[in-house]
Amino acid sequence: MSTTRRRAVATAAVALAGSLLLASCGGSDSGSSDGKTLKLWHYEGPDSAMGVAWNEAIKEFEAKHPGVKVKFEEKGFEQIQKTAPMVLNSNDAPDIMEYNKGNATAGLLSKQGLLTDLTAEATQRGWDKKLSAGVRTTSQYDTGGVMGSGKWYGVPNYAEYTMVFYNKDLFKQYGIAEPTTLDQLTAAMDTFVSKGITPLANAGAEYMAQQYLYQLALSKADRSWVDKYELYKGKTDFHDAAWTYAATTFADWVKKGYISKKSTSLKAEDAGVSFIQGKSPILFSGSWWYGRFQTENKFDWGTFLWPGSNLTLGSGGNLWVVPKGAKNKDLAYDFIDITMSQKIQNLLGNKGGVPVGADTAAITDPKAKTLIADFNTLSGKDGLAFYPDWPVAGFYDVLVSETQKLITGSEKPDAYLSALQTAYDKGAPKT
């Protein structure tokens, strides 16, 4: 090979290698700061209540901002959850993004200075007035990233809460009236068990099992108990009366056949499908199932709040956050404002979501009316108690894993509670 050719080959090789290296380092686009583009990410399915409402909000935003284009990218929940810190540290951050609420998520990002302080906008645009105290909790984070006080780092446009979904046809078939007390609910479950039907749909491999458990604890708890657990305003003792009642009752319900021992490996989808197929007469879960049940249930069904409890699982929905490095923050604020408008909120409500600022008279669907009325009752009595996995990063997996042991009977309630205590104490901020 001649020296010239060799040099040429060498140059080409180095150029190729250099470009490979550059590519691997991520040739990020520098983002648009022209005021002509709003880069928006969210992870709501296009057919969900939120997806429909946000799409309408995009249209309205473009109509109100001639010459501005919304560059929407649909992301997955997991995708945003796992990569948000890295993305927000880069030049690829969007102008506005939907993000999960709670200490380990939005709280962590706010603590690290990756989110924009929205306090001034929230007051000036009146968002703070539209959100009830329980819903607002997940918007504000203190300097330690703990929710409930401090600056506004996110705005939820909808809410969510858990309720008992029940198959009215099956209840009627076995002569059971809608339960209004826990005793009546227990009696109803006994009837189903006696007929060879496992009454409660459950999913041990995902959130559903831990939500039954947390609801049982909440039925013996009050706001200060929740504040201790979720906001670290005091010491949480997993061997207290509420947690002990929850763990022993749950284990007892498995023994009695209210909850199937075979539900350990099931996912939330399996439990939902079991309810939709009419195999399980009762499912306790969140309002996110509502729209789907409305579409897919082939039987008469209804809902009621967990009997005998002032508190239930629930909170404001996921948050709109504005990354610190967003290029078009004013456009982002305008977009949030539109999603908070009554028109979009009413649309959300009519599609089976739980709006935070809808005109109840404008909600036409009777089931949606019940859903929103129940939420208003709950919100009015400050009954949103958040979710059990929020206080500590990674607690979700601990709860799944430990509750599975409770279902299989491989762990006794006392040991179960001790395991939760250890994981909680390890992860909660040291006071």
Partner 1 sequence: MTVTVERDGRVVRRQRSRTDRPRRPHSSYALFLLPGVLAFLAVIVVPFLMNTGVSFTDWQGVGSPKWSGLANYRELMDDSEFWASFRHSLFMVVAMAAVPTVLGLVLAAALFDFVGKHFGTKVAAVLRACFYLPQVLPIAVAGIVWSWILAPDNGSLNALLKAVGLGSLQRDWLGDPDLALYSVMGVMVWVQIGFPLVVFMAGLQRVDPQLYEAAELDGAGWWRRFGHITLPQIRPEIYVVLLWCTIAALKVFGAVYVLTKGGPGGATDVPSYFSFTTFFEKTQVGYGAAISTVLTVIILVLALIGLKLQTRAEDAEEGLRA
CB of residue 13 vs partner 1: minimum separation in angstroms?
Answer: 5
CB of residue 133 vs partner 1: minimum separation in angstroms?
Answer: 28
SS3 track for the chain: CCHHHHHHHHHHHHHHHHHHHHHHHCCCCCCCCCCCEEEEEECCCCCCHHHHHHHHHHHHHHHHCCCCEEEEEECCHHHHHHHHHHHHCCCCCCCEEEECCCHHHHHHHHHCCCECCCHHHHHHCCHHHHCCHHHHCCCEECCCCCECCCEECCEECEEEEEEEEEEHHHHHHCCCCCCCCHHHHHHHHHHHHHCCCCCEECCCCCHHHHHHHHHHHHCCCCHHHHHHHHHCCCCCCCCCHHHHHHHHHHHHHHHHCCCCHHHCCCCHHHHHHHHHCCCCCEEEEEHHHHHHHHHHCCCCEEEECCCCCCCECEEECCEEECECCCCCHHHHHHHHHHHCCHHHHHHHHHCCCEECCCCHHHCCCHHHHHHHHHHHHHHHCCCECECCCCCCCCHHHHHHHHHHHHHHCCCCHHHHHHHHHHHHHHHCCCC
Closest CB to partner 1 among residues 218, 423: 423
Closest CB to partner 1 among residues 103, 346: 103
CB of residue 409 vs partner 1: minimum separation in angstroms?
Answer: 10
CB of residue 341 vs partner 1: minimum separation in angstroms?
Answer: 33
CB of residue 103 vs partner 1: minimum separation in angstroms?
Answer: 11
Binding positions for partner 1, rule: CB under 8 A: 1, 6, 9-10, 13-14, 16-18, 20-21, 24-25, 81-82, 85-86, 88-89, 104, 108-109, 111-114, 204-205, 260-266, 270, 393-394, 396-397, 400-402, 404-405, 407-408, 410-411, 427
Structure token pair of residue 140: 């504000």
Closest CB to partner 1 among residues 204, 353: 204
Q: Facing residues of 312 across strands?
A: 384
Closest CB to partner 1 among residues 203, 332: 203
CB of residue 194 vs partner 1: minimum separation in angstroms?
Answer: 19
CB of residue 9 vs partner 1: minimum separation in angstroms?
Answer: 6
Structure token pair of residue 165: 């979904």
Closest CB to partner 1 among residues 21, 63: 21
Question: What is the C-alpha to C-alpha distance for residues 88 and 310, in angstroms, rounded to an integer?
Answer: 39
CB of residue 114 vs partner 1: minimum separation in angstroms?
Answer: 6
Closest CB to partner 1 among residues 334, 389: 389
Closest CB to partner 1 among residues 371, 406: 406
Question: What is the C-alpha to C-alpha distance for residues 322 and 326, in angstroms, rounded to an integer?
Answer: 7
Closest CB to partner 1 among residues 204, 383: 204
Closest CB to partner 1 among residues 79, 180: 79
Question: What order do you get walking across the sheet with 96-99 strand by strand?
Answer: 69-74, 37-42, 96-99, 319-321, 155-156
Closest CB to partner 1 among residues 109, 155: 109
CB of residue 179 vs partner 1: minimum separation in angstroms?
Answer: 25
CB of residue 394 vs partner 1: minimum separation in angstroms?
Answer: 3
